Amino acid sequence: MKLLLRRDQHTSGLMRTTITFSLSVRAEISEQERQNIHKYKLGETVLYTRGELIDKGAGLLGLASRLAFKMMNISVSVDDLANGKRVDCKDIMEMLAVEQQIKEAAGNFKAVLDAAAHFGGDEVIEL
C-alpha cells in the first residue's frame, strides 16, 4: 500500500477573502490488500475523524443534532482512502495535524492488512 497526499489551497469571497487549505488523500492498494479489505469487511473502518460526539441526545432534538454533527464532521474510512478523499481545513496547522493523523492511521491499517495476509500460513521473521 502506498499513501498519496496532495496539499492545496483555494480562496473564496469577494469582499472578505478566505483561504481554505485542503488535503487530498488516496491509497494505492494492491489486489491482495483489496481482497482482504473485502474479505474481512474493513471498508467502513474509520481511520480518522475530526470530532467525536459526546452527548448523542434523545428524541427528535438528538436526531437533529446527530445529523447536523455528521454533516459537519469529517471522517476518513478505509473505503475513502481507497477511493480518495479531500479534507478541507481552516488553516495550515490543522491541515498538518490531519495529515499526520492520517499517515499514522494508514500505517496502523497497513499492519492490519499485513497480518490479514498471513492468516492460515507461516511467517518467517529473520532476527
- Record the pTM: 0.73
Question: Among 52, 47, 28, which residue's Cα sits nearest to residue 103?
Answer: 47
pLDDT (0 to 100) of residue 38: 94
pLDDT digits (tens, 9 = 90+) for 70-116: 544 678 899 999 999 998 888 899 899 889 989 999 999 999 998 88
Q: Find the mean pLDDT for residues 39-58.
A: 73
Nearest-Å Rg of the Cα atoms of the chain is 18
Query: What long-range pairs does 15-22 form, CB within 8 A, spacing at least 24?
Result: 20/88, 20/89, 20/90, 21/88, 21/89, 21/90, 21/91, 21/92, 21/94, 21/95, 22/86, 22/87, 22/88, 22/89, 22/95
